[in-house]
Amino acid sequence: MEGGVNKDLSNLKTPSTDEEFTDVLLQIRASKTPAVINYGASWCRVCNQILPAFQKFSKEFSKLSFVYADIDECPETTQQIRYTPTFQFYCDGERVDEMFGAGEERLRDRLWLHS
């Protein structure tokens, strides 16, 4: 996949179909583990700029589950997304926060808040 998302990182999931993304969402809701979903697109310059930081943070914030969902690979399950990147934060299986746009320090602060 473009952007260099490493599918081997256990703390970072990168579903590449609507079915896989639906499974990931079900896991987030069932596990009650705090999670962050990064909705992006391979053609989005800002998404590609923040992706390396998102990957780095997935190692730094080990108590959070990280998910990168490409809106073009998961069109049915991401059709509510209007801006890329969009970050959604989950706690106890429920969405509790949302952040639009990039900004490494903004993202780090939000991750710290939700971890």
Please list the active-site residues: 44, 47
Residue 104 and residue 75: Cα distance in Å, rounded?
A: 26
Q: Which residue has the tokens 């009650």?
A: 32
CA dihedral 83, 2, 63, 22 (to 10 degrees): 70
Cα separation, 20 vs 75, in Å, equals: 12
